[in-house]
Amino acid sequence: MTFETSVEKIAESFEHLWPSDFADAWDAPGFAVRHPSNVTKVLLTVDVTATVMVEAKHRGANLIVSHHPFLLKSDINWDAAKGQVIKHAVRDGISLFSAHTNADVVAAGVSDTIAKAIGLSDCEALLATGEGRGHGRVGVLPDPMTLEAFAQLLVGVLPFTARGVAVSGYPETTVSKVALCGGAGDSLISNAFESGADVYLTSDLRHHPTSDAIARPRLSQPFALVDISHWAAESLWLQVAMNQLGELHPEIDFMVSEVVTDPWSFVINRENDEG
């Protein structure tokens, strides 16, 4: 027997979990494609790509829930990749929905999920955006560890990606208080520094903001930065979101995508000649 529910009904659940007015002003979460047909299977992914569309059709999903909005701009080049995905979504009857910054800031959201995955306690928002919500998290590890051991912890928590975990800091520095932000978070480096965190964990760190941050004088121990895959960090949230939606809609089959949408395929480096 196939179970289903209306798009309107599941849209109400999306709004309940990730209120649209929690999104940043520049953001564009919500439906990029909305079919009137009832929802039977839902595929959750960080990004909507052509490969994810093939997966959705193969696995019988008629709704894709992504973290990244498929359309942040109103104009569509129908001959380019995004235009082709929209065409296939319309043709195959697949709705496209995203929960982005509105899913970053809430409890059990993206940053909250990362914090729990690495065992942080006494967490609070790194940048508050409202009562009980905000971007990023800052909390305390169960036991202090070296910066190198913290990086190894992340390798065990995150799915594999070609670029792995990059660290800026002295390996033997003791880490106890951790600040983090899911996604590209270099805009919050100063917030992490001022929070007193020993290390800031985020993605897509650029050269100059990183160099300036680690050179910034501090009375206590130095400040370290850890750069992890944008996709890997945010992919942890998909299982949490799936479980939340599954509790609200047990009649629907929810699935996490098996497609890795991290854009980096492999790395090549020379051997370290030191030591």
Give this prediction's pTM. Answer: 0.93
User: Can you give the pLDDT at residue 166?
Assistant: 97
Assess if residue 266 is contained within a domain.
no
- Type and span of the H or E element at 261: none
Instruction: Count how many domains the chain has.
Output: 2
Of the residues 190, 212, 228, the one at which a domain ends: 228
* pLDDT tens, residue by residue, 142-200: 999 999 999 999 999 999 999 999 999 999 999 999 999 999 999 999 999 999 999 99
Closest CA to 22 of 96, 98, 106, 97: 106
Domain span holding position 170: 105-228
Residue 13 clears pLDDT 60, i.e. is over it:
yes
Task: State how far the Cα of 82 lies from the Cα of 70, in Å rounded to an integer.
Answer: 8
Strands lying side by side in the sheet with 253-256: 30-33, 95-98, 63-66, 41-45, 253-256
Statement to judge: residues 214 and 197 lie in one domain: yes
Is the Cβ–Cβ distance between 224 and 199 less than 8 Å? yes
User: Can you give the pLDDT at residue 1?
Assistant: 47
Helix, strand or coil, per DSSP, at residue 143: strand
Statement to judge: residues 126 and 204 lie in one domain: yes
Assess if residue 37 is contained within a domain.
yes
Q: 213-238: string of b/e by CB count within 10 Å (b at 16+)?
A: beeeeeeeebbbbbbbbbbbbbbbbb
Assess if residue 21 is contained within a domain.
yes
Write the CATH number for 116: 3.40.1390.30
Task: State how far the Cα of 181 lies from the Cα of 186, in Å rounded to an integer.
Answer: 9
Residue 260 clears pLDDT 90, i.e. is over it:
yes
Statement to judge: residues 109 and 132 lie in one domain: yes
Assess if residue 270 is contained within a domain.
no
More confident residue, 162 or 272: 162
Assess if residue 69 is contained within a domain.
yes
Statement to judge: residues 216 and 118 lie in one domain: yes
* pLDDT tens, residue by residue, 36-45: 889 999 999 9
Statement to judge: residues 187 and 73 lie in one domain: no
